[in-house]
Structure 1
Amino acid sequence: MPSEQTALTAESALPVTGYRLLLPDQWAQVPLRQGTEEAVRRVLDDVCTRIPKDAPPDKAGPYRRELERRFRAAVAQAQQTKALDLYLPVKPMGGGDFSLGASILVSETLLPRRSEARGRTEPTDLAVQLLSRDGVHGADLSSGEIDGALAVRREHLAGADPDRGAELASRRVEYIASVPDDPDRWFVTAFSTVGGGDPRDELAEALVEWFDAVMANFRWRRG
């Protein structure tokens, strides 16, 4: 019988086929390439069951329609980025209203292959180049590993952009990781929060710390 160490080594040699994020059940996953409508309907049906049955129809109806409008708008905006998955908090913690004040967007990006004549670029430099493509400057950058893979973390503030549905400024933290055994493939996990209305407030700080803890437990799926 193979030892536990041998089994772990064999598993780590398998190709990466996906990822795993450990999130509390207040968060829902919406796949953005397949099964999106089914997931949206499932989330909305679940949220609507928590509307009090004795709520006046003239209040429950508009609330339900506004909730669906906001949720679908968030999903549609995420789909425009050609991302893989969107995670949203759809159940209040300790009471309160449904809120879309935070999100996690997971995507992949490919780096054009570099010829030997152009020389070798360090993976960390490539990650920074990929993060820089959106024109963000002056961000807080650091590097490390997630589940054994090189990762670069970027944190910055993004201003309000009503034309894109962002009515408030937000605090953003992104991890971009080199997919093991596939140097041209990069995996991006991006967190965004408006905090309690100010991306610098205590709630925003706490949520950023929470997201860093989530990424500390990030794992690749292999098979």
Structure 2
Amino acid sequence: MATEQRAAVGRGSAPATGYRLLLPSQWAQIPLRQGTEEAIEEILQEAYARIPADAPPDKIGPYKRELARRFRKAVAGAQERNALDLYLPVKPVGDAEFNLGASILITETVLPSRNPDGPRTPPSEIAVQLLTNNDAEDGDLSSGEVDGALAIRREHVAAAAPDRGAAADSRRVEYMVSVPGDPDRWFIAAFSTVGGGDPRDELAEALVEWFDAVMATFRWRHA
């Protein structure tokens, strides 16, 4: 599945105006700025259509309500972070009917230059700040490029935070990418998974490798 989304237009020559990301068909995009409700309803209706015809009628209603509750809770949590897009695996893979054990959240942020009245802070200097200011316990950080733009990759295990909707520890990988044409603006793709119940298990490791492969498909869209 190829997904394309508009991002805020940057300053300077040939600014990036959006992005493209390739994901398997089991993953769905939920835009969080507009068209959210339509996307939610389409995904839920597709899930309801997969309920077996011989399912007990008294089980169908509670199942639908719980499915909608879990899904809408995930979307609401992403909207609270003022994100652009949320990607979730919503179609069956093997015996898993509707798995919310992983997600990709797309956000953007503007980091102020250290000298607002002078030259802009180069992305390389901002990258150094991000690398040295990391406070994730046992975190792993590295720098490189994503589609020609400076990027920082951060990986760590986040502790459960039930008050914020995270009932279990999770493995997280974030790519922070400098937006071409706007050195103050950063695009962030954040992947999270609980693995098979342990964020350090083999499934979590495999999913981290999968997300790195997904980010290798990332491309900017220019005006």
TM-score of the pair, normalised by structure 2: 0.88
Distance across 1 between alignment mates of 2:134 and 2:71: 25
Secondary structure (helix, strand or coil) at the match of 1:167 reads coil
Distance across 1 between alignment mates of 2:74 and 2:215: 22
Does residue 218 in structure 1 map to residue 218 in structure 2? yes
What does residue 3 of structure 2 align with?
Answer: none
Distance across 1 between alignment mates of 2:95 and 2:138: 37
After superposition, the C-alpha distances for 1:5-55 in whole angstroms (9 at most, x for unaligned) are xxxxxxxx7431100110001000001111111111111111111111210
Distance across 2 between alignment mates of 1:49 and 1:213: 31
Distance across 2 between alignment mates of 1:195 and 1:123: 33
The answer as to whether partners of 1:124 and 1:152 remain within 8 angstroms in 2 is: no
Secondary structure (helix, strand or coil) at the match of 2:157 reads strand
Distance across 1 between alignment mates of 2:195 and 2:123: 33
| More moved, 180-189 vs 113-122 | 113-122
Q: CA deviation at 1:136?
A: 2.8
Q: CA deviation at 1:123?
A: 2.5
Residue segments in structure 1 that go unaligned for 5+ positions in a row: 1-12
Does residue 95 in structure 1 map to residue 78 in structure 2? no
Secondary structure (helix, strand or coil) at the match of 1:33 reads coil
Runs of 4+ more than 4 Å apart: 116-122, 130-135
Specify whether residues 125 and 197 from structure 1 end up closer, same or farther in structure 2 by C-alpha distance, changes over 3 A only.
farther
What does residue 114 of structure 1 align with?
Answer: 114
What does residue 10 of structure 1 align with?
Answer: none
What does residue 198 of structure 2 align with?
Answer: 198
Paired letter, 2:97 = D
Distance across 2 between alignment mates of 1:165 and 1:16: 33
TM-score of the pair, normalised by structure 1: 0.88
Q: CA deviation at 1:126?
A: 1.5
What does residue 60 of structure 2 align with?
Answer: 60
What does residue 9 of structure 2 align with?
Answer: none
Residue segments in structure 2 that go unaligned for 5+ positions in a row: 1-12
What does residue 178 of structure 1 align with?
Answer: 178
Matches within 5 A, 1:152-191: 152-191=152-191
What does residue 77 of structure 1 align with?
Answer: 77
After superposition, the C-alpha distances for 1:71-129 in whole angstroms (9 at most, x for unaligned) are 00000000000010000000121232211000000010001133278887553442354
Distance across 2 between alignment mates of 1:83 and 1:133: 22
Secondary structure (helix, strand or coil) at the match of 1:174 reads strand
After superposition, the C-alpha distances for 1:173-203 in whole angstroms (9 at most, x for unaligned) are 0000001121011000000000011101111
Secondary structure (helix, strand or coil) at the match of 2:46 reads helix
What does residue 38 of structure 1 align with?
Answer: 38
Identical counterparts, % of pairs: 69
Q: CA deviation at 1:130?
A: 4.8
Structure showing the higher helix proportion among its residues: 1
Distance across 2 between alignment mates of 1:73 and 1:161: 15
Cα-Cα RMSD: 2.1
Paired letter, 2:51 = I
Secondary structure (helix, strand or coil) at the match of 2:105 reads strand
Q: How many residues align?
A: 211
